[in-house]
A and B are shown apart, each in its own frame.
Chain A
Amino acid sequence: MNYIFYGLIVISIITGALNGRLQEVVNSILTGAELSVKVAFSLIGVMAFWLGMMKIAQESGLVDFITKLIKPVTKRLFKDIPENSPAIGDIAMSFSANALGLTNAATPIGIRAMEELQKHNKEKSTASNAMCMFLAMNTAGFQLIPATAIAVLIGAGAKNPTEIIAPTLLVTTIAFISAIVLAKVFEKFWAPQKESGGES
């Protein structure tokens, strides 16, 4: 993360200076910082709501039920996590919410999943294999219905806005599977967590 942070800022300042946009770059520090707090605060309410809902789902046994349902898949993807850990249920719920396009629900539940994964993590400041796998599943952004894109197309009066559903589903599936395969491959070849602690 150190290199990414440094790289983003240094490249921005240098290219900004070359393009004569240094003033815009400086101004963007303020707007970016403001935006971050807005994003975080807009999360508070919805985060509280879904964490509350998830607590009920957990105590009623609903999460355990889903955990058992998807065990055959998660057993392979998350080798290091005990089969009956609440993390697995959270991962399943967060994934389902993402697939249905319910980003507002997916983020709080996903964060809860990360907290559960952290309990199984040996080195608390370094990402575990399971975390990288979960993140790979998330950044691939698997979605059954691209609701936002369709809404924009409908708003502009497209003749057949839903025709993008099939190609999107195909592409998102390809990206999702590649992400999982890549995560598995890197898991094998990347230096194990303990010795190096990884980089960036």
Chain B
Amino acid sequence: MFQAIMNLLSLWALPVIILLILTVGLAKKVPLYESFTDGAKDGFKVAVNIIPYLVAIIVGISMFRASGAIDMIGQALSGVLAALKIPQEVLPVMIVRPLSGSAALGVFSDIVHTLGPDSYAAKLAAVTIGSSETTFYVLAVYFGAIGISKIRYALIVGLLADIIGIAAAVLVCHSMF
């Protein structure tokens, strides 16, 4: 029942928003087509503007992943993991999550298939993924779009919040599953 409601909500969220915007627009006599195309013109410009920033950050992260540095961090932290009862397999998800969404999802799928979808590791990884964002990507896209290069404390806050999120995920999962 609950699952059916959730599925329904996910399915209808977008159509409802689009209908709402268009219907209110029509009721307020907004020239829908002209306004839409006028706003949409910026889409190309913004997407092209962020390319240099994306190249810098995505190439950096790709190199970092290819270098094997993530495995080394994992090895260095294995003692801490054992103490906190975090399954070894989940650590790569936690490290990769702020760097790359697709990579984190890849590691997560791998855990689900090797250890089973009902394992503790799979659930912890699922909560970690569901409750965080790809911090580096978000920073590159949002600041890149408006040409900000001095980001001040934005990255530190993002990463600290990620760490708090991971700690919370470990605590919550430990007491619930």
Contacts and interface: CB of A to CB of B under 8 A. Distances in A.
Contact of B129 (A139, A146, A198, A199): A146
Interface in A166-200: 166-168, 170-172, 174-176, 178-179, 182-183, 186-187, 190, 193, 197-200
A182 B126 contact: no
Contacts, number: 366
Contact of B157 (A105, A145, A183): A183
A172 B131 contact: yes
A191 B142 CA distance: 22
Interface string A15-48: 1100101001101110111011101110111111
A180 B102 CA distance: 26
B79 interface: no
A160 B172 CA distance: 18
B165 A175 contact: yes
Given A28-B62, A156-B112, A108 B46 contact: yes
Interface residues of A, number: 112
A190 B43 contact: no
Contact count band on B: 35 or more
A200 B117 contact: no
Q: Which 5 A-B pairs have the closest CB atoms?
A: A146-B130, A55-B39, A48-B43, A141-B133, A32-B62
A166 B123 CA distance: 12
B77 interface: no
9 contacts: A28-B59, A32-B61, A35-B62, A59-B30, A127-B148, A132-B154, A135-B158, A150-B6, A171-B168
Interface string A43-73: 1111111011111110111100000000000
Q: Which of A37, A51, A62, A126 has the most CB of B within 10 A?
A: A51
Contacts of B27: 60
Contacts of A44: 43-44, 47-48
Nearest to B133: A141
B164 interface: yes
A111 B169 CA distance: 29
